[in-house]
Amino acid sequence: MSVDEKGSYVLVDIGSQVTRGLLVEKENGEYKIVGEGSAMTTVEQPQLDASIGVKNALDMVKEKTGKVILDDGRPVPGRTFMFSSDASGGLHMVVTGVIGMISAESAQRAALGAGALLIDQFSKDDGRPVHTKVASMRSMKPDILLMAGGTDGGAVAQVIEMAEIINEADVQPRFGSEYPLPVIFAGNVELQDRVQEVLSEGYATKVVDNVRPVIDRENLGPAREGIYDAYMEHVIVHSPGYLKLAEWTGSRIIPSQASVGKMLYSYAQDRGINMIGVDVGGDTTDVYSVYDSVFNRSLNADIGLSYGLSNILKTTGVENILRWLPGSDDKQVRNIIGNLMINHPEQYTSEQVRIQSALAREAISLGLEKHKDIASRLKGSILDRTLSDMFEQEIVQTRINMMRTDLILGKGEVFKHQSDEESALILIDSLKPEGITELALDKSSLTAPLGNLLDHEKEASLSLFNESISFLGTCIAPIGNAKPGENVLKITLETGGKEEYVIKQGELNILPIRGKEVEVNLLPSRSDLGRGRNKAITRTVLGGCLGLIIDTRDRPISGRGKPLGLLPYENGRSS
Per-residue model confidence (pLDDT) at position 385:
47
Please state the rounded mean pLDDT for residues 372-378.
90
Distance CA 105, CA 212 (A): 10
Per-residue pLDDT of 319-354, as tens digits, reads: 999 999 998 999 999 999 998 888 878 788 999 999
Higher pLDDT, 566 or 536: 536
User: Matching CATH topology for 91-238 and 256-377+392-468?
Assistant: no
Please state the rounded mean pLDDT for residues 351-359.
94
> Where do the domains of the chain lie?
3-87, 91-238, 256-377+392-468, 478-566
Per-residue model confidence (pLDDT) at position 57:
97
| The CATH number of domain 3-87 is 3.30.420.40 | yes
Per-residue pLDDT of 438-464, as tens digits, reads: 999 999 999 999 999 999 999 999 999
pLDDT exceeds cutoff 80 at 574? no
Distance CA 293, CA 277 (A): 15
The per-residue DSSP string of 326-386 comes to TT--HHHHHHHHHHHHHH--SS--HHHHHHHHHHHHHHHHHHHHHHHHHSBPPTTSPPP--
Fold of 256-377+392-468: Nucleotidyltransferase; domain 5 (3.30.420)
Q: pTM of the prediction?
A: 0.93
- Please report, to the nearest 10 degrees, the dihedral formed by the alpha carbons of residues 373, 379, 384, 388 taken in order: 40
pLDDT exceeds cutoff 70 at 214? yes
Q: How many helices (H) and strands (E) does the chain have?
A: 16, 27
Distance CA 362, CA 320 (A): 8
In this structure, the number of other CB atoms found within 10 A of the CB of residue 201 comes to: 9
Q: Are strands 30-40 and 18-27 parallel, antiparallel or unpaired?
A: antiparallel
Distance CA 218, CA 230 (A): 21
pLDDT band at 387; cut points 50, 70, 90: very low
Specify the CATH number for 91-238; select among 3.30.450.20, 1.10.10.60, 3.40.50.2300, 3.90.550.10: 3.40.50.2300
Per-residue pLDDT of 491-537, as tens digits, reads: 998 766 788 999 999 999 999 888 888 999 999 999 999 999 999 99
Report DSSP state, residue 214: B
Distance CA 259, CA 411 (A): 14
Please state the rounded mean pLDDT for residues 61-67.
95
pLDDT band at 564; cut points 50, 70, 90: low
Three state DSSP letters for 139-150: HCCCCEEEECCC
